[in-house]
Amino acid sequence: MDVTTPSPRRGQGEGVQYIELYAECREMINSHAAPLLNEPREKAYEDFCRLGLPTQKLERYKYTNVAESFAPDYGLNLRHIDIPVSPYKTFRCDVPNLSTSLYFVVNDRFYDKVLPNAPLPEGVLVMSLAEACVKYPHLIEGKYGRLARSSKDGLNALNTMFCQDGLFVYVPQNTIVERPLQIINILRSDVDLMVNRRVLIVVEDGAEVKLLFCDHAIDDHQFLATQISEVYVGENAHLELYELEETHVKSHRFSNMYVDQQRNSTTTIDSLTLHNGLTRNRTDVTLSGEYAETRMFGCVIADKKQHVDNNTLIDHRMPNCQSTELYKYVLDEEAVGAFAGRVLVREGAQKTTSQETNANLVATDTARMYTQPMLEIYADDVKCSHGSTVGQLNNEALFYMRQRGIPLDEARMLLKFAFVGEVLDSITLEPLRDRLRYLVEKRFRGLLSKCEGCKLCK
Amino acid sequence: MLEIRDLHASINGKEILKGVNLTVRDGEVHALMGQNGAGKSTLSNIIVGHPAYEVTEGSIIFNGQDLLAMAPEERAHAGIFLSFQQPVEIPGVSMNNFMRAALNAKRKAQGLDPIPATEFLKLMRERRKIVELDSKLANRSVNEGFSGGEKKRNEIFQMAMLEPTFAILDETDSGLDVDALRIVAEGFNKLRKPETSALVITHYQRLLDYLRPDIIHVLIGGQIVHTGGPEVATMIEQGGFDQFINPTPNPQK
């Protein structure tokens, strides 16, 4: 594969090789991307020169060494060379009842050679971001880069510098998309690869949509994927967004998601990490209108030396909003988990209700969990709670089950499954919930040790 | 069926059982009585293989098998069941899934295929009636939010599902009102078969009035100090345990 590789320089500040790469390749990058994506590039470059890659000295990056993930020599496909793959063949969906409109994003490119047959409601767009920038610039302008500011986060800056494509989802006013949209992100390459993907989701006033993202890696190479998502949820709009990661141990994922919610809107974000190498998910939700509601769930199952770091912020800017957050981790072997969740209730955000819970099961002496729930309140009439627990499997329960004849391994599995069950129950899409229960059980039984294509579909 | 020989056992280094001998034959119901701390629950925990207890001496033979060499789940598959004094709550695991896992594990050990779903549900329905348990139970988590009486009835229900050959009832009567006690005891009696045996641990005669044990043992200070027929329960009710501590009881007491 013809790819561009940054020359590694270490000890000169974090991420210098990416500054050099950009300086060398800016024209090539621009010539294979849309003008709207090129516009903020130089500003992002300046920001990245100033910020560099985030270090662990930054509060929000305390638990993950970013530079280490970015140090290896990855190739970048900046010339937009077609990578041979036929996802519809590889990922034939035969899950009963999980009828979704199925789309693929291969690395950072939207796959448009074959598209689902079922028509979308009028005006709804699910397409390449680059193409949308050309065809529907008025829908992108003022939205791209507004929530994910390159001046605030080195990863935002880096992604904006290199971003050439990604996904655009648009649901116009008062439009209800009944059929869930399923987007499968495939990492596919013949060499170690870095991917900078961008996602823009616009759900206009009164619109409703359910999105399911499945992340997979189908080749036995090192992958580093950055994904920056900006999500706009209008007044009275409803969004359910599920993210399932099922990659492999050589896959590193850095995702920053920014959600803005207007008045009376509801959003559910469910993030499930079933299999990975290193994952860092940052999710920032801003409640910009009154009576908005956010529900955030996370489920992490990690073993070996897997690393999963979820870092969240719920920003209550207006009164009468509600947020709930529940993250559960099951860590085995030498896995490392981190959860840092900040709930910020700003001055004047009266009648806020907020509940934040992080519960963790650490099954071995060698696995580690860092948990940091944070509640910051500047209003005086609110109802907020936060808490976290770290524990082991209940030995008395294990013995009780064994006395009934259930073998130890099975008993452990049942207890772990019960532990994360609460998160799976939050999934309102019933076929998805059943499918995930099945996948989680397989994962606990050790039958999901590597990604063999989309387990959700096969 | 069950033969315990010179059993010594300790927990956290403290010796609780100091040479227990006990033989239960097929079809017999034995009762074990004794003061708090005498070692009754220790004995039952050792029979089922609780990992917290250490056997320092002696043997337990169950139907010709060396019980002490078996894992707790293997003992269960061999037909041993304990009705727990304090049944454990297991949030998130439904009674349905729990019973199915237990039943299928036993079937697997016997070389049988998993029980078909409809047959399983039918069995659950039937056996529930024995202890008059609510039908909502199946979807509830194991013992979670159950009242004291429901927990004990649930123990007997599980016994009905698993059909053990040797059951231990560890203070199944504690915390039960008269009606619940009757339901539990009658449930147990319905499950009795000529080839099944039981060891009933209790402080009170009331449960024994229902169960009518063949043999009653008195356990004091980690040893069985007296063994007799049903009359022993009456002796205890009238004269307490002191008469067994002092081999020549004072009739004035």
**How does pLDDT run across A176-197, given as a tens digit for each residue?**
999 999 998 989 888 999 999 9
Taking contacts as CB-CB distances below 8 angstroms, the residues of chain B near A403 are 48-49, 72-73, 75-76, 81-82, 84
CA-to-CA distance for A340 and A404, rounded, in angstroms?
Answer: 39
State how many domains chain B has.
Answer: 1
Which chain A residues are within 8 Å of B92, Cβ to Cβ?
Answer: 415, 417-419, 421-422
Asked if residue B251 belongs to a domain, the reply is no
Least confident of A7-16, B162-171, B210-219: A7-16
Provide the pairing of β-strand A383-391 with B90-94: unpaired
Report pLDDT digits (tens) over B23-79. 999 999 999 998 888 899 999 999 999 999 999 999 999 999 999 999 999 999 999
Band the pLDDT of A356: cuts 50, 70, 90: very high
Regarding predicted confidence, which is higher, B234 or A360?
A: A360
Q: How many distinct structural domains can be found in chain A?
A: 1
Poorest-pLDDT segment among A120-129, B78-87, B167-176: B167-176
What is the band of B244 on the pLDDT scale with cuts at 50, 70, 90? Answer: confident
Does B93 lie at the interface with A, CB-CB under 8 angstroms? yes
Residue A101 has pLDDT above 90, yes or no: no
Q: In terms of pLDDT, which residue wins out, A6 or B83?
A: B83
Contacts of A399 in chain B (CB under 8 A): 50-51, 72, 88
- Residue A352, amino acid: T
Subunit contact A403:B81, Cβ cutoff 8 A: yes
From start to end of chain B, where are the E strands? Answer: 2-11, 14-24, 29-33, 53-62, 65-66, 80-83, 90-94, 141-142, 166-170, 197-201, 215-220, 223-228
Two structure tokens written together for A29: 């990058």
CATH number of the domain where residue B159 is located: 3.40.50.300
In a domain, B30, yes or no: yes
User: What is the C-alpha to C-alpha distance for residues B153 and B183, in angstroms, rounded to an integer?
Assistant: 8
Examine the pLDDT at B18 and tell me if it is beyond 60: yes
**A418 → chain B, closest CA residue:** B92
pLDDT at B250: 45
Cα distance between residue A107 and residue A112, in whole Å: 13
Here the ipTM equals: 0.95
d(CA B11, CA B21): 19
> Which has more confidence, A75 or A261?
A261
Chain B CA closest to residue A394: B90
Q: Is residue A456 part of a domain?
A: no
Q: Is B59 exposed, middle or buried (0-12, 13-18, 19+ CB in 10 A)?
A: middle
B217 touches A at CB < 8 Å: no
Q: Is B48 on the interface with A (CB under 8 A)?
A: yes
And the tokens for A251? 């896959």
Q: Which of A339-348, A415-424, B182-191, B206-215 has the highest mean pLDDT?
A: A339-348
Q: Give the rounded percent of residues in chain B with a pLDDT score beyond 90.
A: 75
Instruction: Assess if residue B131 is contained within a domain.
Output: yes
Beta carbons of B60 and B46 less than 8 angstroms apart: yes
Long-range contacts (CB closer than 8 Å, 24 or more residues apart) made by B66-72: B71/A402, B71/A408, B72/A399, B72/A402, B72/A403, B72/B48
Per the structure block, which two tokens stand in for A303?
Answer: 């073993």
Point out the least confidently predicted range of A345-354, A391-400, B137-146.
B137-146
Q: How far is residue B95 from each of residues A67, A375, B128, B133, B161, measured CA to CA in Å?
A: 48, 37, 12, 12, 12
Tell me the pLDDT tens digit for each residue of A367-384. Answer: 999 999 999 999 999 999
pLDDT-based confidence at residue B252 (cuts at 50, 70, 90): very low
In this model, does residue A435 exceed pLDDT 90? no
Identify the three-state secondary structure at position A429: coil
Q: Judged by CB atoms within 8 Å, which residues 128-157 of B form the interface with A?
A: 141
Residues 6+ apart with CB under 8 A from B129: none
Q: Which domain holds residue B239?
A: 2-245
Q: Is residue A135 part of a domain?
A: yes
Report the mean per-residue pLDDT for chain A: 91
What digits encode the pLDDT tens for the residues A317-336? 999 999 999 999 999 999 99
Asked if the model's pLDDT at residue A39 lies above 70, the reply is: yes
Tens of pLDDT, residue by residue over B97-106, are 999 999 999 9
A223-230 average pLDDT score: 97
Q: CA-CA distance, A437 to A451, in Å (whole number)?
A: 17
Q: Does A408 touch chain B (CB under 8 A)?
A: yes
pLDDT for A92 beyond 80: no
Tell me the two tokens of residue B145: 């939010």
Q: Give the span between the Cα atoms of A327 and A422, in whole angstroms.
A: 10
Chain centre to alpha carbon of residue B215: 15
Q: Which of A366, A364, A426, A424 is nearest to A392 (CA)?
A: A364
pTM of the model: 0.87
B177 versus A452: which is more confidently predicted?
B177
Higher pLDDT, A83 or A33: A33
Mean pLDDT of A436-457: 68
Distance from CA of B169 to the nearest CA of A (A): 13
What pLDDT, on a 0 to 100 scale, did the predictor assign at position A258?
98
Q: How far is A107 from chain B (nearest CA, A)?
A: 38
CB contact under 8 A, A405 and B109: yes
Which structural domain, as residue segments, surrounds residue A207?
1-46+81-282
pLDDT category at A82 given cuts 50, 70, 90 is confident
Q: Which of A395, A400, A406 sits opposite B101 (nearest CB)?
A: A406
Tokens of B92: 């998130």
From the list B51, B53, B57, B68, the residue with the least C-alpha distance to B14 is B53
| Interface residue A407 vs chain B (CB under 8 A) | yes
Q: Does A393 touch chain B (CB under 8 A)?
A: no
Query: Alpha-carbon distance A183 to A150, whole Å?
Result: 25
How crowded is residue B147: how many other Cβ atoms within 10 Å of its Cβ? 10
Report chain A residues whose CB lies below 8 A from the CB of B50: 399
| Residue A453 banded pLDDT, cuts 50, 70, 90 | very low
- Average pLDDT taken over every residue of chain B: 91
Asked whether the predicted pLDDT for residue A203 surpasses 50, the reply is yes
Residue B249, pLDDT above cutoff 80: no
What confidence tier does A96 reach under pLDDT thresholds 50, 70, 90? very low
**Of A134, A99, A255, which Cα lies nearest the Cα of A185?**
A255
User: What pLDDT, on the 0 to 100 scale, is given for residue B247?
Assistant: 56
Residue A400: which of B75, B88, B92 has the nearest Cβ?
Answer: B88
Give the C-alpha separation, A247 to A185, whole Å: 10
